[in-house]
């Protein structure tokens, strides 16, 4: 499984799930924010596609979900299954995205980074975990965040949903304060045969509830065959 984290999110966010899936599904998390740019959704999708030589189960969290959708639309032969985690086909009505983009532009710094991190979890992280995630996020360049968020804001992937032919599961935290669960339900309903699973977490179920997330991934892998 190739796993794409969200904006400012360390690839290690998938590590708990990876441990639970060991021996069944091998997880490769992509570090797209500290790698080669530009970090626009479409560019990242193409760079990841270029690393694939066979179909994979593709998982995308938050902005990573938009990247995964873009890749699946442009390169369907490289995607055997799709897991969309706390994401959506568009950002219409996505809470405070414009405010965040404005703040990234005019007030970039530790305060903003901390706020984005903290709203990604339903409950406060233990200090050591929070410090690890912050250490990654603070390395991300300001222009990479702006490129990712503005390109995602301006992109509406709704028209591609009905054309997806691989097995798809939409996983969403019921307490997500960043992405309304209604948008996830809307997206799942527009994808032929997609399954929807809600879990009692915030924006990041793969970290907050790795056991259920691993179960969802095993079920999706079984559908792929």
> What's the pLDDT band for 95 if we cut at 50, 70, 90?
low
Give the full edge-to-edge strand order of the sheet including 56-61.
28-29, 2-4, 56-61, 79-85, 168-173, 195-199
Q: Which two tokens stand for residue 38?
A: 């530009």
pLDDT at 93: 66
Task: Let me know: does 90 contact 66? Beta carbons within 8 Å.
Answer: no
pLDDT at 99: 83
Give percent of the chain above pLDDT 90: 92
Is residue 165 within a helix (H) or strand (E), and if so which, with residue range? none
CATH code (residue 205): 3.40.50.1820
pLDDT in tens, 29-57: 999 999 888 999 999 999 999 999 999 99
> Helix and strand tally (H, E) in the chain?
11, 6
Instruction: Please state, rounded to an integer, the average pLDDT across all residues of the chain.
Output: 96
Q: For residue 58, list its beta bridge partners.
A: 2, 82
**Pick from 207, 183, 214: nearest CA to 196:** 183
Provide the domain limits for residue 35.
2-224
CA–CA separation, 91 and 36 (whole Å): 25
CA dihedral 129→103→157→174, nearest 10 degrees, is: 40
CA–CA separation, 215 and 181 (whole Å): 20
Q: What domain count does the chain have?
A: 1
pLDDT at 97: 79
- pTM, full prediction: 0.96
Distance set, CA 22 to CA 1, 3, 16, 155, 176 (Å): 11, 15, 10, 35, 28
pLDDT in tens, 3-25: 999 999 999 999 999 999 999 99
pLDDT at 19: 98
Is residue 79 within a helix (H) or strand (E), and if so which, with residue range? strand 79-85
């Amino acid at each position: 499984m190739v796993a794409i984290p969200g904006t400012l999110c360390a690839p290690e966010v998938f590590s708990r799930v990876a441990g639970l899936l060991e021996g069944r599904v091998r997880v490769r998390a992509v570090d797209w924010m500290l790698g080669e740019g530009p970090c626009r959704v479409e560019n990242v999708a193409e760079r990841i596609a270029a690393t694939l030589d066979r179909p994979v189960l593709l998982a995308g969290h938050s902005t990573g979900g938009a990247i995964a959708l873009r890749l699946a639309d442009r390169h369907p032969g490289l995607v055997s299954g799709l897991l969309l985690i706390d994401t959506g086909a568009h950002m219409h009505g996505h809470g405070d995205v414009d405010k965040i983009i404005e703040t990234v532009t005019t007030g970039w710094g530790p305060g903003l980074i901390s706020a984005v991190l903290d709203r990604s979890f339903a409950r406060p992280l233990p200090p050591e975990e929070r410090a690890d995630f912050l250490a990654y996020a603070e390395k991300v360049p300001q222009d990479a965040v702006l490129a990712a968020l503005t390109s995602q804001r301006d992109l509406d992937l709704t028209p591609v949903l009905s054309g997806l032919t691989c097995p798809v599961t939409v996983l969403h935290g019921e307490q997500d304060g960043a992405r309304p669960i209604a948008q996830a339900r809307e997206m799942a309903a527009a994808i032929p045969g997609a399954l929807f699973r809600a879990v009692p977490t915030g924006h990041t179920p793969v970290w907050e509830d790795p056991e259920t997330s691993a179960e969802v991934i095993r079920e999706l892998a079984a559908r792929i065959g």
